Amino acid sequence: MQAQVDRLCRQLAIPMVKVGALSTLPPEVFAAAAKACGVKAGTIPETAAAIAVKSGVRWTSACDNRATPKGAATEVTREGLIVLNRAVGVMLARA
């Protein structure tokens, strides 16, 4: 997870941020990605999915755990971070 967050930070030209305990993803990185890609920031999975959709990169149910039973924390998976990095690359190349 940390390697994918580092890659995302490099693409966005923002300072590196550490993944938190239990692989908690840093929300400020997703906010920066939303701003750079011109999408509205929401929850981490909503933001990542919106970037993927806007870029034309396919976001699947394997990319986040929003379909888990109610009450579970929603997060982007490692697969989702890979997809998000691809999507951000597409969006930045268009800019």
Q: What is the mean pLDDT of residues 62-77?
A: 80
- pTM for the structure as a whole: 0.92
The answer to whether 34 touches 50, Cβ cutoff 8 Å, is: yes
The answer to whether 2 touches 18, Cβ cutoff 8 Å, is: yes
User: What is the per-residue pLDDT across 6-45, written as a single tens digit (0 to 9) for each?
Assistant: 999 999 999 999 998 878 899 999 999 999 999 999 999 9
**What distance in Å separates the CA atoms of residue 65 and residue 88, rounded to the nearest whole number?**
20
